[in-house]
Amino acid sequence: MLGEAASTRPAVHGGRAPDAVRWPPAQRKRLVLSWVSGMNVITGKAWVFGDEINTDVMAPGLYFKSSMEEMARHCLEAVDPGFAASVAPGDIVVAGHNFGVGSAREQAALAFRHLKVGAILAESFGRIFYRNALNFGVPALFFPQSADIGAGDLLAVDPVTGSIENRNSGQRYTVDGIPEHLMQMIQAGGLMPWLKQRLATEGAP
C-alpha cells in the first residue's frame, strides 16, 4: 500500500518528524554525500495558505475522471484561483494547521508533484496527506512558524537539515528535517520509482 512507506510519524498535529533508521556507516555516508554542494537547498517563492486546507480543494472531485494534468490545473482554485497557473517549479507552499485534512485521495499530493512544488511547510498535516506527499516525492516539513512567512517571500529550504531561510526578512529557522531514508526515496521521485531503482540494482549481475 502506497501510504505505508512514510508512516513512521506517530502523530498528526505537530511534534517531531519521523526518526531516521540506522543505516550502516558506508551507506549513510553515500546518502549524506548525495546532498552536499547545495544540491539539497530548495529555493522558491512562498505561496501562503491558512488552516484546514482540505484535499477536496487540492484535487476537486469534479475532475476525477480527467487526466492528472487537468486535475492539477484546478489545484487549490477554490482558495486561490491563480495558484495552479502561476506557481513555478520549486516554489514552496506554506500553510497553517492540518494541511491536507479530509479524504485520502492520492491525487491531492500528486497535484503538487505535477505542478513541481519544491516543498510544503505546514504547522501540521493531515496524516494520510503527509504520507502521500512523501511517497509521491514532495518534501513536507512541519513548520510551527508558518505565520511569519508572507506571500511571495523568497524561501530557501534544506529538507535534510531542516534549515529554512526567509531571504526577504533574513530570518532563519531550524525544524526537524526529513530522515535520510525518506529523503532518498523523495530524491528518486517517490516510493514507486525508488522501489524500481532498488529492484533494478538488486537484480543487476
Q: What is the pLDDT of residues 102-127, one digit of tens each?
A: 988 899 999 999 999 999 999 999 99
What is the structure's pLDDT at 23? 33
Does the pLDDT of residue 59 top 90, yes or no?
yes
> How would residue 137 be classed by pLDDT, with cut points 50, 70 and 90?
confident
What does the pLDDT look like over 188-203, one tens digit per residue?
A: 665 566 566 666 676 6
pTM of the shown model: 0.76
What does the pLDDT look like over 5-25, one tens digit per residue?
A: 343 333 333 444 433 333 333
Neighbouring C-beta atoms of residue 144, cutoff 10 Å: 14
Does the pLDDT of residue 36 top 60, yes or no?
no
Q: Is 138 exposed, middle or buried (0-12, 13-18, 19+ CB in 10 A)?
A: buried
What is the structure's pLDDT at 12? 35
**Span 130-135, mean pLDDT?**
90
Residues β-bridged to residue 12:
none
DSSP 105: -
Residues 44-80, buried b or exposed e (16+ Cβ, 10 A)? bbbbbbeeebbbebbbbeebeeeeeeebbbbbbeeeb
Residues β-bridged to residue 47:
93
Run of H or E including 182 = helix 180-187
**Span 131-153, mean pLDDT?**
94
